[in-house]
Amino acid sequence: MEKTGRIIKSISGFYDVLDDESNVLVRTRARGNFRKRKIKPLVGDKVSFDSTGDLGYILEILPRENSLVRPPIANVDQAIVVTSAAEPNFSSNLLDKILVNIEHNEIEPVIYLTKADLLSDEQYAELKTTLMGYHEHADYQVFCDRDSYNDQQVSKLKATFADKVTVFTGQSGAGKSTLLNHIDHDLGLATAEISQTLNRGKHTTRQVSLFDIEGGLVADTPGFSSIDLQNIPAEELPKLFPEFLKYSDMCQFRGCRHVNEPNCAVKEKLSEGQIMQSRYDNYLYFLNEINSYKKRY
């Protein structure tokens, strides 16, 4: 009998599907022709499946809203970008690169700062001002309390999960698994010390699974230290900065890149302090990076 559901776990060629109707977990395999057709089911996929025997079979993957490569997951609504204040040090360039990739996949980003207690008062005040700029100018929700894992802030974050598929992402060692342990103690996710020599985290998360938390599905996912922009065309990049979109209709030229064009509203707003200088500088850096890919290929 054909049913529909969502893959919430993938392990060694088996897929655990949550049945839409009964809310029961069914272990399945993908049909043999999936491999020939080069189709790989992902955690988060909505699927039709048959479960007449002990083991069900995935018949078809339903159309995806989006999918990520790192982590391999589909149909994501929200991404919590876990950003470390120290060990590894905060990088606006890396944060903006992650945000651009999330926007490119039409996922809503939320910024969550960790390890702020390792900063001096002065350093923290400066970083908090920077991050609140993201909230003020780009309309991103930002969590940046000095005590990263206080109950009030964690509860406020949990309230964003309802009816969404949420992933945690960010540089390795930023504390994604630690944050998830504070969100749900039963998860028991592995955490690891930072490798001091590399200033990078050790990958502690081995597989993607979705957990039912606060009325939504939440994934713990591997972090990364770097990410590229190869799949983003230069003409799309300006649309991936929400604060640029606010003003781009006021630019003289449609399709304005906000670089050397005359009467550019984005550059006017930048000079008025309505757009963060660091965001604009990173935008130019990314544009240059994307153009350099074109030359190489």
- Domains in the chain: ranges and CATH: 2-63 (2.40.50.140), 68-220 (3.40.50.300), 237-296 (1.10.40.50)
Integer angstrom CA distances of residue 217 from 9, 75, 160, 220 = 11, 11, 11, 10
**Whether 108 contacts 167, CB under 8 Å:** no
**pLDDT tens, residue by residue, 171-182:** 888 888 889 889
Q: What is the DSSP letter of 255?
A: T
Closest by Cα among 23, 27, 173 to 88: 173
- Find where tokens 């790989």 sit: 40
Q: What percent of the chain has pLDDT over 70?
A: 89
Known binding residue 144? Answer is: no
Banded pLDDT at 196 (limits 50, 70, 90): very low
**pLDDT tens, residue by residue, 95-153:** 999 999 999 999 999 999 999 999 999 999 999 999 999 999 999 999 999 999 999 99
Known binding residue 175? Answer is: yes
Residue type, 217: L
Known binding residue 116? Answer is: yes
**pLDDT tens, residue by residue, 203-247:** 444 568 898 999 999 986 655 555 788 889 999 999 999 999 999
Q: How many CA within 13 A on the CB side of residue 39?
A: 17
Known binding residue 162? Answer is: no
Q: What is the DSSP letter of 64?
A: P
Known binding residue 114? Answer is: yes
**pLDDT tens, residue by residue, 8-49:** 999 888 999 999 999 999 999 998 889 889 899 999 999 999
**Whether 239 contacts 258, CB under 8 Å:** no
**Whether 89 contacts 126, CB under 8 Å:** no
**pLDDT tens, residue by residue, 71-92:** 788 999 999 999 999 999 999 9
